[in-house]
Amino acid sequence: MSSRISIGLAWAILLSQQAFGLGSKGLGVGMIVGQPSGVMAVASPHERLLLDVGAAWSWNDWLIVLADCKFTDYLTPSSLHLTGYYGLGVYGGSSDAHQGVFGLRVPLGISYRVPYTNLEFFGELVPGLEMFPETRARFQAGVGVLLWFSRHF
Protein backbone atom coordinates (compact mmCIF):
# COMPACT_ATOMS: atom_id res chain seq x y z
CA MET A 1 0.00 0.00 0.00
CA SER A 2 2.74 2.49 0.83
CA SER A 3 4.60 1.46 -2.34
CA ARG A 4 1.64 2.66 -4.44
CA ILE A 5 1.68 6.04 -2.70
CA SER A 6 5.48 6.23 -3.11
CA ILE A 7 5.22 5.51 -6.83
CA GLY A 8 2.55 8.18 -7.21
CA LEU A 9 4.57 10.77 -5.32
CA ALA A 10 7.70 9.93 -7.31
CA TRP A 11 5.78 10.41 -10.56
CA ALA A 12 4.36 13.73 -9.35
CA ILE A 13 7.85 14.94 -8.45
CA LEU A 14 9.22 13.81 -11.82
CA LEU A 15 6.45 15.62 -13.67
CA SER A 16 6.94 18.78 -11.63
CA GLN A 17 10.68 18.74 -12.37
CA GLN A 18 9.89 18.35 -16.07
CA ALA A 19 7.28 21.09 -15.85
CA PHE A 20 9.66 23.64 -14.44
CA GLY A 21 12.79 22.46 -16.23
CA LEU A 22 14.71 24.36 -18.84
CA GLY A 23 13.52 24.12 -22.41
CA SER A 24 9.81 24.44 -21.72
CA LYS A 25 7.91 26.02 -24.55
CA GLY A 26 5.36 27.38 -22.11
CA LEU A 27 4.65 27.74 -18.44
CA GLY A 28 1.38 28.72 -16.78
CA VAL A 29 -0.66 28.71 -13.59
CA GLY A 30 -4.36 28.38 -13.13
CA MET A 31 -7.31 27.26 -11.12
CA ILE A 32 -10.10 24.73 -11.55
CA VAL A 33 -13.56 24.76 -10.00
CA GLY A 34 -15.48 21.51 -9.71
CA GLN A 35 -14.85 18.20 -8.06
CA PRO A 36 -12.10 18.78 -6.93
CA SER A 37 -11.38 22.54 -6.90
CA GLY A 38 -7.87 23.92 -6.62
CA VAL A 39 -4.76 25.43 -8.18
CA MET A 40 -2.40 24.07 -10.80
CA ALA A 41 0.88 24.67 -12.60
CA VAL A 42 1.20 23.65 -16.24
CA ALA A 43 4.16 23.30 -18.58
CA SER A 44 4.21 22.70 -22.31
CA PRO A 45 7.60 21.18 -23.17
CA HIS A 46 6.29 20.44 -26.69
CA GLU A 47 3.57 22.02 -28.82
CA ARG A 48 1.16 19.11 -28.26
CA LEU A 49 2.18 18.02 -24.75
CA LEU A 50 1.07 19.43 -21.39
CA LEU A 51 2.39 18.39 -17.99
CA ASP A 52 0.52 19.61 -14.95
CA VAL A 53 0.61 19.29 -11.20
CA GLY A 54 -2.02 20.57 -8.83
CA ALA A 55 -3.39 20.69 -5.33
CA ALA A 56 -7.13 20.63 -4.79
CA TRP A 57 -9.82 20.23 -2.18
CA SER A 58 -12.74 17.88 -2.84
CA TRP A 59 -16.30 18.24 -1.61
CA ASN A 60 -15.71 15.25 0.67
CA ASP A 61 -13.07 17.13 2.73
CA TRP A 62 -10.13 15.50 0.96
CA LEU A 63 -6.90 17.30 0.13
CA ILE A 64 -5.79 15.91 -3.25
CA VAL A 65 -2.49 16.21 -5.11
CA LEU A 66 -2.58 15.32 -8.80
CA ALA A 67 -0.25 15.08 -11.78
CA ASP A 68 -1.24 14.61 -15.44
CA CYS A 69 0.42 14.14 -18.79
CA LYS A 70 -1.92 15.42 -21.54
CA PHE A 71 -1.78 15.33 -25.32
CA THR A 72 -3.49 18.09 -27.29
CA ASP A 73 -4.95 18.31 -30.78
CA TYR A 74 -6.87 21.02 -32.62
CA LEU A 75 -10.60 20.24 -32.90
CA THR A 76 -11.11 22.97 -35.48
CA PRO A 77 -8.78 25.02 -37.69
CA SER A 78 -6.14 26.57 -35.44
CA SER A 79 -7.53 30.03 -36.19
CA LEU A 80 -10.56 29.19 -34.00
CA HIS A 81 -8.31 28.47 -30.97
CA LEU A 82 -10.29 25.39 -29.84
CA THR A 83 -8.19 22.45 -28.64
CA GLY A 84 -9.08 19.03 -27.26
CA TYR A 85 -6.89 17.00 -24.94
CA TYR A 86 -6.65 13.56 -23.39
CA GLY A 87 -4.14 12.07 -21.02
CA LEU A 88 -3.18 9.91 -18.09
CA GLY A 89 -2.46 10.95 -14.54
CA VAL A 90 -2.31 9.99 -10.89
CA TYR A 91 -3.83 11.42 -7.76
CA GLY A 92 -3.34 10.92 -4.07
CA GLY A 93 -4.95 12.45 -1.06
CA SER A 94 -5.98 12.27 2.55
CA SER A 95 -8.38 13.71 5.08
CA ASP A 96 -8.41 14.00 8.84
CA ALA A 97 -11.07 11.34 9.18
CA HIS A 98 -9.88 8.78 6.62
CA GLN A 99 -6.92 6.82 5.41
CA GLY A 100 -5.16 8.09 2.27
CA VAL A 101 -6.27 7.38 -1.30
CA PHE A 102 -4.34 6.77 -4.51
CA GLY A 103 -5.62 6.31 -8.02
CA LEU A 104 -5.28 6.75 -11.76
CA ARG A 105 -7.14 9.38 -13.78
CA VAL A 106 -7.86 9.92 -17.47
CA PRO A 107 -8.45 13.63 -18.16
CA LEU A 108 -10.55 14.39 -21.26
CA GLY A 109 -11.12 18.04 -22.03
CA ILE A 110 -11.55 20.95 -24.33
CA SER A 111 -9.91 24.37 -24.11
CA TYR A 112 -10.31 27.76 -25.71
CA ARG A 113 -7.40 30.17 -25.99
CA VAL A 114 -8.53 33.79 -26.02
CA PRO A 115 -6.88 35.42 -29.06
CA TYR A 116 -4.17 38.02 -28.39
CA THR A 117 -4.08 37.21 -24.67
CA ASN A 118 -2.34 34.73 -22.38
CA LEU A 119 -5.66 33.35 -21.12
CA GLU A 120 -7.03 29.89 -21.78
CA PHE A 121 -10.37 28.54 -20.51
CA PHE A 122 -10.99 24.81 -20.22
CA GLY A 123 -13.47 22.18 -19.14
CA GLU A 124 -12.66 18.57 -18.39
CA LEU A 125 -14.25 15.26 -17.48
CA VAL A 126 -11.98 12.85 -15.63
CA PRO A 127 -12.95 9.22 -15.16
CA GLY A 128 -10.62 7.44 -12.79
CA LEU A 129 -9.84 4.29 -10.90
CA GLU A 130 -9.12 4.52 -7.19
CA MET A 131 -6.65 1.78 -6.32
CA PHE A 132 -6.05 2.32 -2.62
CA PRO A 133 -7.48 1.68 -0.03
CA GLU A 134 -10.00 -0.18 -2.20
CA THR A 135 -10.56 -0.45 -5.93
CA ARG A 136 -13.50 1.55 -7.26
CA ALA A 137 -14.43 3.89 -10.07
CA ARG A 138 -14.18 7.64 -9.49
CA PHE A 139 -15.33 10.61 -11.52
CA GLN A 140 -14.01 14.16 -11.41
CA ALA A 141 -14.97 17.19 -13.49
CA GLY A 142 -14.37 20.91 -13.58
CA VAL A 143 -13.95 24.15 -15.46
CA GLY A 144 -10.99 26.44 -15.13
CA VAL A 145 -8.70 29.13 -16.42
CA LEU A 146 -4.97 29.19 -17.15
CA LEU A 147 -2.66 32.19 -17.34
CA TRP A 148 0.29 31.39 -19.61
CA PHE A 149 3.58 33.21 -19.02
CA SER A 150 5.53 32.11 -22.05
CA ARG A 151 3.60 29.67 -24.21
CA HIS A 152 4.27 29.83 -27.95
CA PHE A 153 0.88 29.42 -29.62
CATH number at residue 83: 2.40.160.20
Q: How confident is the model at residue 75 (pLDDT cuts 50, 70, 90)?
A: confident
Residue 91: helix, strand or coil by DSSP? strand
Domain count, the chain: 1
The whole-model pTM stands at: 0.80
153 within a domain of the structure (yes/no): no
Q: What is the CA radius of gyration of the chain?
A: 15
pLDDT of the residue at 60: 74
Model pLDDT for residues 27-74, shown as the tens digit of each residue: 999 999 999 999 999 999 988 899 999 999 988 778 999 999 999 987
Q: Please choose, from the candidates 127, 123, 118, the residue with its C-alpha nearest in 3D space to the C-alpha of residue 144.
A: 123
Q: In this structure, what are the phi and psi dihedrals at residue 107, rounded to the nearest 5 degrees?
A: -70, 130
Of 12-26, 32-46, 136-150, minimum mean pLDDT range? 12-26
pLDDT of the residue at 81: 82
17 within a domain of the structure (yes/no): yes
143 within a domain of the structure (yes/no): yes
Residue 131 is part of which domain span? 2-148
